[in-house]
Structure 1
Amino acid sequence: MKKAFAWLVHLFTASGLLAGFMGLLAAVAGDYRTAMWWMLATLVIDGIDGTFARLAHVSEVLPHVSGQMIDYVIDFFTYAILPAYLFYVATDLPATPRLLGSFAMLLSAALYYGLDGMVSADGRHFVGFPVMWNMVVYLLIFVVPDLPWPLVFGAVLALAVLHFVPILVPYPSRGGRWWMLTIGVTLLFVLSAVLNVWYYPKPSHWWQGIALACSGYYCLITLLDTWAARRKA
């Protein structure tokens, strides 16, 4: 029974790839709203499968199956490949910057996954901008769709470079500065994502503003934690 439960957890994790594939099909069909719904579904699956894995003690029950490797494979598709494709087909940039922006997402994500120490020693931060291109593309398409294309292109290149800069980005589920506030902001950001996708293509400026405010909060925490770590060092 324990093995069956453990396998079910791995299958649940792997279902994120199916949701990502459905998102890809929707993006190919030009249905960007549905593509984003599927992308949000992959985010939810990725956010809760670890809890199930710990409850099922999968690493002990199935020691020969690497749940972490399964997770990495799925994450690269849902956090890098799918967002890069959606960026290419759904944003209003000239062809060359769109292609180069997609390339920047994919190359930086691939190299980042090859780095040691993507998570800080205390486990509370990502080191460098994490592979969260799904949320970047969400913001560009559903929150700030009218941003001038040079700013969009510049932001994508800057974030690609920040993969390799030792900034400390909060890992919300693992504690840290203002932890409960960070959890609340994270939930509010997810709620704003759901509502911004729901209202698309008729935006709610209120929820767009909340999404930007939550993003600004993460930037602030990143700056404070990085600065504190430098002082301590």
Structure 2
Amino acid sequence: MKLFAWLVHIFTASGLLAGFMGLLAAIEGDYPAAMAWMLATLVIDGIDGTFARMARVKEVLPNVDGKTIDYVIDFFTYAILPAYLFFVAVEAPLWALYAGSFMMLLSAAIYYGLEGMVSEDGNHFVGFPVMWNMVVYIFIFVVPWLSWPVLLAITAVFAVLHFVPILVPYPSRGGRWWMLTIAMVVVFIGTALLNVWAYPRVSAVGRWGCLLSVGYLALVTVLDTFQARPQVQGKDGLEKE
């Protein structure tokens, strides 16, 4: 049982290796490969919690804090790597690239220090979660024709939304229309892979699939924010079992 628990922690930590490979690809200017590695980190992060619960890692390895491992990896793969990809792949004045990257990093760092990052029922993030990988993917692979002032304005809006008490679906935890939400996440990842493969072109199927899934998640966020409004709990709500 301990071996299974250790394997789960190693699987979680492999997200950092995938993120590092994404960084190397971005440095080399291979933006599709960088994005493919970022999508791999998204998949790893999405399923490792299920494995952790199956292996009862908290019970079997009480001295190994999987939550801390997860935070370290998430901050790199969801904030640092996307900020770097934004900096090198978006065409904009240098000051705008610094401004956009700094907004991503500062808002993410402060968000990770907040209490109440997850709702009391565990089904929502409170505030826009650190998902800059999705935002930067859309900038580069879905709407590359948008001008840099528009991209910078969108970045500023999402940075502010970290601190607005909206209720964003936490797909692996259940919630409203849970199976449909999971399906939309699968659609997002699948169409993202399609757009990464088609780069520098934008696949029509990939574009509309992405916009459909993002629009769905935005709709559920609005509905849950204004209808459910559950109480929120502390940062430990993100703890993996």
How far apart are 1:187 and its partner, in Å? 1.1
Structure 2 distance, partners of 1:134, 1:39, is: 7
Query: Which ranges of structure 1 fall in alignment gaps of 5 or more residues?
Result: none
Structure 1 distance, partners of 2:94, 2:145, is: 17
SS at match of 1:126: strand
Q: Does 1:152 align with 2:125?
A: no
How far apart are 1:9 and its partner, in Å? 1.1
Which string of whole-angstrom CA distances, capped at 9 and with x for unpartnered residues, describes residues 42-94 of structure 1? 11111111111111111011101100000000000000000000000001121
2:138 aligned partner: 139
Which string of whole-angstrom CA distances, capped at 9 and with x for unpartnered residues, describes residues 143-184 of structure 1? 001111111000001000000000000111222222222121
Structure 2 distance, partners of 1:37, 1:189, is: 13
List aligned pairs for 1:18-33, cutoff 5 A.
Answer: 18-33=17-32
1:78 aligned partner: 77
How far apart are 1:97 and its partner, in Å? 1.0
How far apart are 1:116 and its partner, in Å? 0.9
Amino acid at match of 2:173: R
SS at match of 1:164: coil
Amino acid at match of 1:182: T
Kept in 1: contact 2:128–2:166 (CA 8 A): yes
Structure 2 distance, partners of 1:213, 1:32, is: 23
Q: CA RMSD in A?
A: 1.4
1:226 aligned partner: 225
Structure 2 distance, partners of 1:201, 1:16, is: 26
Structure 1 distance, partners of 2:229, 2:127, is: 14
Amino acid at match of 1:75: D
Amino acid at match of 2:179: M
1:67 aligned partner: 66
How many residue pairs match? The answer is 231
How far apart are 1:133 and its partner, in Å? 0.4
1:113 aligned partner: 112
TM-score, L = length of structure 1: 0.96
2:173 aligned partner: 174
List aligned pairs for 1:85-96, cutoff 5 A.
Answer: 85-96=84-95
Kept in 1: contact 2:46–2:172 (CA 8 A): no
SS at match of 2:168: strand
TM-score, L = length of structure 2: 0.93
Structure 2 distance, partners of 1:178, 1:59, is: 29
- Percent of residue pairs identical: 68
2:208 aligned partner: 209
- For residues 70 and 148 of structure 1, do their structure 2 counterparts lie closer, same or farther at Cα, with a shift above 3 Å needed? same
How far apart are 1:229 and its partner, in Å? 3.5
The higher-RCO structure (CA 8 Å, 6+ apart) is 2
